[in-house]
């Protein structure tokens, strides 16, 4: 569905160098703190900026060669872009109906009403959560096959975030030929949704793994400084010094449970894994 092959982009204070694959029928989460390169990656995918090197293909074709009919099969959301604040949902409905031949005005407005979005009030009166719902509903209602969603849950409370994630799961479940690439700096938001998670730091992929494997096989070891030298480090991905010794990220949690029963070993939340993968935390 979507492939990035050794795609690079240079800026004066930032370099992106990334490869990733979004298979048909899967939800892939791109996870990283603010400034890690998530939005730059999305801009490259959508052709909003051009890569210095590498190739990006969507539906098997280079992005620059996509015909309008295939471009219309891509749905997007960005945190800081949307329609004019003077528009109403009724105005948006007319615009979207004229833009997309596959857009269903009645289904869209029914969904907006279901999520308590007023059809005749200007967007400037909408709360942050209401705007987030509306952005996603716009992306979902022109029969897109690929969704590119940049931080759709940023700044929202847990109730609205869960609503949006539920919408995305229902959207994918209704058609196995659809795919979603979604970014967040809140890894736990994507835990229940994504088939795979790709952790990005300073413009590079530092870990890509199936979500089930991350939750079931990865762990965080708490190791006293005196014990660290005698620890088998073959299965440690990251070590971070602390006041008591070391925090260590492993993808073989069960091995360390069995071999070192005296150690404190936690499953490790996805957000904790993200913190350990940042450059500042890596010492080995």
Structural domain boundaries in the chain: 2-212, 218-281
Residue 216: count of CB within 10 angstroms of its CB: 12
Q: Rg (Cα) of the chain, in Å, rounded?
A: 21
Q: How confident is the model at residue 283, as a pLDDT?
A: 37
Compute the average pLDDT of residues 152-156.
79
Positive or negative: CA dihedral 139, 180, 249, 33: negative
CATH number 3.40.50.300 is the correct assignment for the domain at 2-212: yes
Whether residue 245 has pLDDT greater than 50: yes
Compute the average pLDDT of residues 212-225.
91
Whether residue 18 has pLDDT greater than 60: yes
Compute the average pLDDT of residues 134-139.
88
- Give the mean pLDDT of the chain: 88
- Non-local (6+) Cβ contacts of 88 within 8 A are 119, 120, 121, 122, 123
Residue 162: count of CB within 10 angstroms of its CB: 14
**Alpha-carbon span 105 to 103, nearest angstrom:** 6
Q: Which segments within the chain are labelled E, that is strand?
A: 2-11, 14-22, 27-31, 53-58, 61-62, 74-77, 146-150, 179-184, 196-201, 204-210, 219-224, 236-241, 245-250, 264-266
Please state, for a pLDDT cut of 90, what percent of the chain lies above it: 42
Q: How confident is the model at residue 271, as a pLDDT?
A: 81
Whether residue 279 has pLDDT greater than 60: no
Compute the average pLDDT of residues 77-94.
87
Compute the average pLDDT of residues 118-124.
94
Q: Nearest Cα to 205, choosing from 41, 46, 25, 54? A: 41
């Amino acid at each position: 569905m979507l492939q990035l092959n050794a795609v690079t982009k240079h800026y004066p204070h930032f370099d992106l160098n990334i490869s990733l694959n979004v298979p048909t029928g899967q939800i892939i989460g791109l996870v990283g703190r603010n400034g890690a390169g998530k939005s730059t990656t999305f801009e490259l995918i959508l052709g909003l900026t051009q890569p210095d090197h590498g190739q990006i293909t969507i539906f098997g074709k280079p992005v620059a060669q996509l015909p309008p009919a295939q471009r219309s099969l891509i749905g997007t959301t960005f945190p800081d872009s949307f329609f004019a604040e003077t528009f109403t949902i009724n105005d948006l409905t007319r615009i979207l109906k004229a833009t997309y031949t596959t857009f269903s005005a009645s289904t869209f407005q029914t969904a907006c009403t279901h999520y308590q979005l007023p059809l005749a009030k200007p967007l400037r009166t909408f709360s942050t959560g209401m705007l987030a719902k509306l952005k996603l509903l716009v992306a979902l209602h022109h029969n897109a096959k690929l969704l590119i969603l940049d931080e759709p849950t940023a700044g929202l409370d847990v109730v609205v975030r869960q609503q949006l994630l539920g919408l995305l799961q229902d959207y994918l479940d209704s058609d196995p030929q659809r795919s979603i690439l979604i970014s967040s700096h809140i890894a736990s938001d994507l835990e229940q949704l994504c088939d795979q998670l790709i952790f990005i730091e300073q413009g590079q992929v530092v870990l890509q793994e199936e979500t089930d494997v991350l939750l079931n096989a990865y762990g965080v070891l708490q190791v006293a400084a005196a014990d660290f030298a005698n620890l088998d480090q073959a299965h440690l991905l990251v070590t971070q010094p602390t006041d008591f010794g070391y925090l260590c990220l492993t993808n073989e949690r069960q091995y360390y449970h069995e071999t070192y029963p005296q150690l404190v070993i936690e499953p490790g939340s996805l957000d904790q894994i993200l913190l350990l993968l940042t450059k500042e935390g890596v010492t080995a």
